[in-house]
């Protein structure tokens, strides 16, 4: 009995240490849960924004597609102006709308709001129009020269049309 009495266990110290450890581990668990929840919420918000951008851009492209088809039946801007003098300003504005749409898509891609897979799909379509139609290349060269790279959210010597030549 005397040996048991010699073990002076400081129960208050043990209780305090256990309290600190339990509090610490609960804090870590809450921190991990909070971070996981915040990441999930951030992912959901990012996917929602991407879905909205996808819907908006596809809707705008659907409207422009018919005009692009009409424009690309002409070999040059001069030919378009000669053959369709009354419609030229309107069709030229539609080309500008298309370039602005391309710029917006590229801007949101560069800023991480559009994922790589979606961007690659859009990029293929943009470059198809650009590569296969001289009038699109001519109009873009004119637009880029007149307004510069900054008007399209581009850095100097940056392009969203891969085969662009100044």
What are the structural domain ranges in the chain? 49-152
**pLDDT at residue 149, as a whole number:** 81
Neighbours of 131 (CB within 10 A): 13
Q: Quick: pLDDT tens for 84-131.
A: 999 999 999 999 999 999 999 999 999 998 889 999 999 999 999 999
Percent of the chain with pLDDT over 70: 95
Q: Quick: pLDDT tens for 18-29.
A: 999 999 999 999
**pLDDT at residue 8, as a whole number:** 72
Given phi > 0 = left and psi -120 to 50 = alpha, else beta, which region is 165?
A: beta
Q: Assess whether pLDDT exceeds 80 at residue 79.
A: yes
The whole model's pTM is what? Answer: 0.76
Q: Quick: pLDDT tens for 10-69.
A: 888 899 999 999 999 999 999 999 999 999 998 898 889 889 988 999 999 999 999 999
Report how far apart, in Å, the C-alpha atoms of 67 and of each of 7, 136, 143 are.
92, 12, 18
User: Which one-letter DSSP state was computed for residue 153?
Assistant: T
**pLDDT at residue 166, as a whole number:** 62
Q: Quick one: three-class SS letters along 10-69?
A: CHHHHHHHHHHHHHHHHHHHHHHHHHHHHHHHHHHHHHHHHHHHHHHHHHHHHHHHHHHH
**pLDDT at residue 5, as a whole number:** 53
**pLDDT at residue 7, as a whole number:** 63
50, 48, 46: which is closest to 119 by C-alpha? 50
- The answer to whether the beta carbons of residues 98 and 128 sit under 8 Å apart is no
Please classify residue 117 by burial: count the beta carbons closer than 10 Å to its beta carbon, then call 0-12 exposed, 13-18 middle and 19+ buried: exposed
SS3 81: helix
**pLDDT at residue 6, as a whole number:** 55
């Amino acid at each position: 009995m005397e040996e048991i009495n010699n073990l002076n266990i400081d129960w208050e110290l043990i209780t305090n240490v256990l309290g600190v450890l339990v509090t610490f581990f609960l804090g870590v668990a809450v921190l991990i849960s909070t971070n996981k929840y915040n990441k999930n919420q951030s992912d959901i918000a990012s996917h929602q924004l991407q879905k909205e951008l996808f819907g908006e851009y596809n809707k705008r492209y659907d409207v422009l597609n018919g005009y692009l088809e009409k424009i690309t039946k002409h070999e040059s801007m001069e030919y378009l102006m000669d053959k369709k003098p009354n419609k030229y300003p309107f069709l030229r504005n539609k080309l500008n709308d298309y370039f602005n749409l391309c710029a917006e898509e590229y801007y949101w891609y560069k800023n991480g709001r559009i994922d790589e897979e979606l961007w690659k799909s859009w990029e293929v379509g943009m470059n198809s129009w650009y590569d296969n139609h001289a009038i699109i290349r001519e109009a873009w060269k004119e637009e880029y020269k007149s307004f510069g790279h900054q008007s399209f959210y581009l850095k100097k010597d940056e392009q969203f049309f891969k085969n662009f030549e100044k």
